Structures are given as C-alpha cells and as structure tokens.
Amino acid sequence: MQLDILAIAAHPDDTELTCGGTIIKMVEAGYRVGLLDLTAGEAGTRGSARMREREAARASRIMGIRDRQNLGIPDSAVDGRREYKLAIARKIRELRPRTVILPYWEGRHPDHYTAGQVGYEACFLAGLAKLPIEGKPHRPAKIIYSTLYVPALRPTFVVDVTAQLERKLKAVLAYRSQFSPRKDMQNLFPARADLRERVAGLARHFGLMIGARYGEPFLTREVAAVEDIVTLPVRSI
C-alpha cells in the first residue's frame, strides 16, 4: 500500500480533534489517507480500550478512512525508546506515505508531544537502508505538525475546513465515552451540548487568519518555496 497522507497520533480521537476537518477534506479530494494511533487510550479516565476501538471505527467511517491501525503501545507510556521508533518506522515503510501529520512537539499531555518527537525520528529512521527492520526504505517527503491546541503559536499555514466542519463534529462525537452530559466536568470532558461551540470557536479563530469561516492550523520546520508571488492566497490588507 502507498498512502498519500498518514496522520500519527497518541490516542484514538486525537486526529479527529486536531485535524479531522483537514483529513476529511483530503479524502474528499481523492487522496489515500490513513491513520495510525499509537495507543488504545486505555489509561484514560473514561471508556475502555474496546470501547474506544469501536468509537474509532465509527469515526473512521464518518471521515471516509479505510486504513486505520493501532500500534498497541501502552497508554500514558509513550516515550522515546527505540522499539517504539522502530515499530512506527515499520509502518512508515509498509504504508509509504508522501505526507505525515504529527502532533506538535510541545504541549500539556506527554503522550501527545512525545508522539510528535518519536514520529519524526521514526520517519527519519525508516529511510535508512541498513536499518535492521523489514521493508523497503522510505522517508516521507513532507512532515507537518498539527497545532490546533497551541493557539498562541503562529501557524505556518491554515487549511480552510468550513465545508468539512459538520462531518468533523460528527466524527468527534463518535467518541461518546469522552464527553460528559453534565456541566461539572466540562474542562477535561466537555459536555456534548458545548462541544460544537468549543470546536467551532477554535476553528473560527484560525479561519479568520486566512479569511475563511473555519480553519485548522499546521506548522512546518522548513521554509516553503514559492514560484509565483502574484497568485499567493490570503490578502495582506
């Protein structure tokens, strides 16, 4: 299999929350998109590994994802050990994505930012011809970082997801175990009734940066090349 895009995240629902609209948009554009969850989310306060597996399958159907895998790394124990990097590198070689989406390398949850760090190193290792793992060497052409939950960080670019927001909300709501029907836990577990306002509010913030209604932000480590400065999108004044 050769994917155009592979999104790697620590837990089921991370991709849906941070860049679900972009994933849906790329699927609609005809790209082959896959998701790789590193853990089953079994250490979370709510739900179970089996429950979240069913929720992830439901969310994938909503987004149109046909290839979603889980590495089975212990939840809350994602770290930089070599065996984890090699496990991800094997998937990189197997799926051969052109573009990889990773979580931003800083944040509140150790699993999230560590997934970004080990994901990057795995992408590099997967291209080493003498690496002692199976598969033909492959290194993605592009690595981008989802930065939705780092609103103070200025993104490199923003994807317009106005047309995809409703499907993104449906995909997020597939994780029923993670949302509270009450108001008293809405900080970590937002109430279902408040979810739309929270998701749309963040998306609106980034959409305004590019003159769109809703957007999702991303960052790249490298500088982009531009051939035609006359057709650059987004007005300056």
- Cα 153 from Cα 217, distance rounded (Å): 9
Lowest mean pLDDT among 24-28, 41-45, 227-231: 41-45
Q: What pLDDT does 109 receive?
A: 87
The bridge status of strand 142-146 relative to strand 99-103 is: parallel
- Residue-wise pLDDT for 64-109, tens only, equals 998 999 999 998 889 999 999 999 999 999 999 999 999 999 888 8
The bridge status of strand 215-219 relative to strand 157-160 is: antiparallel
Tokens of 232: 């650059």
Domain range annotation of the chain: 5-219
Predicted confidence (pLDDT) at residue 116 exceeds the cutoff of 80 = yes
- Cα 7 from Cα 20, distance rounded (Å): 10
**Percentage with pLDDT > 90 across the chain:** 77
Nearest C-alpha neighbor of 69 from the set 47, 45, 97: 97
Q: What pLDDT does 69 receive?
A: 97
CB distance 55 to 16 below 8 Å = no
- Cα 102 from Cα 194, distance rounded (Å): 27
Q: Averaged over 173-201, what is the pLDDT?
A: 74
- Cα 106 from Cα 130, distance rounded (Å): 31
Predicted confidence (pLDDT) at residue 130 exceeds the cutoff of 80 = yes
3-state secondary structure of 6: strand
Please give the single-letter amino acid code of residue 174.
Answer: A
Predicted confidence (pLDDT) at residue 188 exceeds the cutoff of 70 = no
Tokens of 139: 């290194």
CB distance 145 to 116 below 8 Å = yes
pTM given for the model: 0.93
CA–CA distances in Å: residue 168 to residues 9, 20, 88, 154, 190: 16, 5, 26, 23, 16
Q: What pLDDT does 208 receive?
A: 96
Predicted confidence (pLDDT) at residue 134 exceeds the cutoff of 90 = yes
- Cα 85 from Cα 205, distance rounded (Å): 34
Length of the chain, please? 237
Longest dimension (CA), the chain: 54
- Cα 78 from Cα 24, distance rounded (Å): 27
> Using alpha carbons only, how large is the chain's radius of gyration in Å?
18
Band of residue 45 on the pLDDT scale cut at 50, 70, 90:
low
Tokens of 129: 């011809």
**Fold of the CATH domain 5-219:** Rossmann fold (3.40.50)
What DSSP state is assigned to residue 191? B
